Amino acid sequence: MQDNINDINTENICDTGFDPFHNSTEKHYYNEDYSGVMPAAEDNAPSSTRPGRDEKRAIRRFYNIGGGCAVLQLAISFILSNALVFIAAFFIMSENNMSFSEYLNSNTVARYISDSAIYPAVTLLSYLGANLIVFFAGMKLIGQKPSSLFRTRELKISNVIEYIFILCFIQVAAIYIVRLISIAMPNADVVGGSGDIISYSSDKSLALSLMYACIVAPVTEELLYRGFVMKAFSVVSQRFGIIISALFFALGHGNITQFCLTFIMGIFMGYIDIKHNSLIPSLMVHFVNNTMASVRSIVIMYASDKLDLYDMIYSYGLLAAAVIGLVSLIIFCKRETFPKSTIKQQMRCTGLFLTSPAAVIAVGIYAVLMFMNTFL
């Protein structure tokens, strides 16, 4: 039964939320009032099916902020990583009395950096800095407080366990999708460096790599994609926000293997975050996903003499969990309704997105980078 948001008093509005488009399939407590787009609207839906000029401009502003900040994240991470590498190289050159011309004519320093703990440290610091800077700046630009992403509702341990089993099914499904893509495109590098996250060159390298993969990446990526990006693109429709944030999340990983997994994961995690009005569910799922991948990588590296045994245990264990996950997903889908968009919302989503320059450019840049990693 559709809630009548107009009859709810101000004291209860934070708990019940807003329903500016009278959409019974959305989680109203996740919505902000529509005054950010139409100052006089508050929680009332626009009267016209098609948006007016001022409304279009306001919606495009949110979409452009989302896309522009996605490009900014790439730029900051690139600048930070190169700056940190240069600083590290400078100290190495100073310690070894090496001139700049000697540095340019020799790969010794570059090899030392790539083979030491410096490389995973640079990766950790550059993405930590870029993701957090863009997250806080983006939330400020769209007028949202970071605390609004942690107003958790009705999240139980049983929900988390259910979501982890569903994650296992998604992982297995992604594996088979990637295999089909590999068959269809035998000359493409579908992995594209996705296996280079964990560094084994030293104990420090391993520790830093694990810290990045299991803590920094899940936390900062969830803040960025399920936090800021999804909020920016959900200004009109939750469905649209979930899909676009999943698209940026998947493209941001830069290779087809992770794209297949993270796009499906992104849609699932986006929905459970909206359902529980919090990033906590996706943080937990993301942490488990990355930890499983990291542990498997370590086992492959350090237990090569018993690799067949461990691989069999892992594969059969994952398959059993995936079967439970499939059943859990079927039950979940019957129990929950993925947000749909009303006609008014549809008129304010894809068309305006495609005419928002920063958003389109962002998708284009991310797609080109993934194409280059795959085919060049």
Render pLDDT for 79-95 as a digit per residue (tens, 0 to 9). Answer: 999 999 999 998 888 88
pLDDT band at 15; cut points 50, 70, 90: low
pLDDT band at 355; cut points 50, 70, 90: very high
Q: Is the pLDDT of residue 257 over 80?
A: yes
Q: Is the pLDDT of residue 221 over 70?
A: yes
The reported pLDDT for the residue numbered 17 is: 78
Higher pLDDT, 299 or 137: 137
Phi, psi angles (nearest 5°) of residue 355 = -110, 20
pLDDT band at 111; cut points 50, 70, 90: confident
Are the beta carbons of 256 and 237 closer than 8 angstroms?
no
Q: What integer is the mean pLDDT of 345-353?
A: 97
Q: Is the pLDDT of residue 347 over 60?
A: yes
pTM assigned to the model: 0.91
Contacts of 173 (CB under 8 A, 6+ apart): 264, 322
Render pLDDT for 160-186 as a digit per residue (tens, 0 to 9). Answer: 999 999 999 999 999 999 999 888 888
Q: What integer is the mean pLDDT of 203-221?
A: 93
Question: What letter does residue 44 receive in the DSSP assignment?
Answer: S
Residue in the block written with tokens 């983006």: 138
Q: Shortest CA distance to 259 belongs to which of 272, 270, 249? A: 249
Per-domain residue ranges for the chain? 1-47, 56-375
Residue 29 to residue 171: CA distance in whole angstroms = 30
Are the beta carbons of 208 and 322 closer than 8 angstroms?
no
- Percent of the chain's residues with pLDDT above 90: 65
Residue 141 to residue 170: CA distance in whole angstroms = 34
Q: Which residues of 266-275 are buried (b: 16+ CB within 10 A; e: fewer)?
A: bbbbbbbbbb
Relative orientation angle of helices 280-302 and 256-276, to the nearest 10 degrees:
150
Helix (H, G, I), strand (E, B), or coil: what is residue 336?
Answer: coil
Residue 286 to residue 294: CA distance in whole angstroms = 12
Are the beta carbons of 204 and 117 closer than 8 angstroms?
yes
Render pLDDT for 118-164 as a digit per residue (tens, 0 to 9). Answer: 999 999 999 999 999 999 999 999 999 999 999 999 999 999 999 99
The reported pLDDT for the residue numbered 41 is: 62
Are the beta carbons of 299 and 313 closer than 8 angstroms?
no
Q: Which sign does the torsion angle of CA 136, 142, 12, 335 carry?
A: negative
Higher pLDDT, 137 or 375: 137
The reported pLDDT for the residue numbered 63 is: 98
Q: Is the pLDDT of residue 328 over 60?
A: yes
The reported pLDDT for the residue numbered 98 is: 83
